[in-house]
Amino acid sequence: MKLAPTYLLLALIATLFNIAVQDLCIRVYDGPYGVLLAACGGTGAGLVLKYLLDKRYIFRFRADSVSHEGRVFLLYTVAGLATTVIFWSFEFGFDYLFDSRTARYTGAVLGLAIGYLCKYQLDRRYVFLAAA
């Protein structure tokens, strides 16, 4: 039970970081495909931060080597592809339906919340289990 509040806090930190990076990206470039580029930037930044947080505070993982770390990060990334589809579906869906930055970010937060719930199960069953 102690793990759930920690995971929730780390997911919140990663979500805020993702949205902040997206917002920064869209402020730098707001042209054609700006929202897509911002979503990619936020997703990439959030992925790296969430991996670092999860491996240390949730799964207490230590790699045996650089190549081991790389394999586990690759598994983590692959496991995140399905959850990214969930996240982006909400973000782009809200953007399409309501056509506002606030709605897009609200969709992103909802999509990330659902995605992170699924992601934990994938990581626990496939990523960090295989790493152990």
37 band by pLDDT with thresholds 50, 70 and 90: very high
pLDDT of residue 131: 54
From CA 36, how far away is CA 42, in angstroms rounded?
10
Q: Which residue has the higher pLDDT, 59 or 131?
A: 59
What gap in Å lies between CA 121 and CA 105, rounded to an integer?
Answer: 24
**For residues 83 and 115, is the Cβ–Cβ distance under 8 A?**
yes
Three-class SS state of 100? coil
* Average pLDDT of the residues in 113-131: 90
pTM across the whole model? 0.92
pLDDT in tens, 77-117: 999 998 999 999 999 999 999 999 999 999 999 999 999 99
pLDDT of residue 48: 98
Domain ranges of the chain: 3-131
pLDDT at 130: 57
Are 123 and 59 in contact by the 8 Å Cβ rule? The answer is yes
Residue type, 20: A
Tell me the angle at which helices 101-122 and 34-53 cross, rounded to the nearest 10 degrees. 40
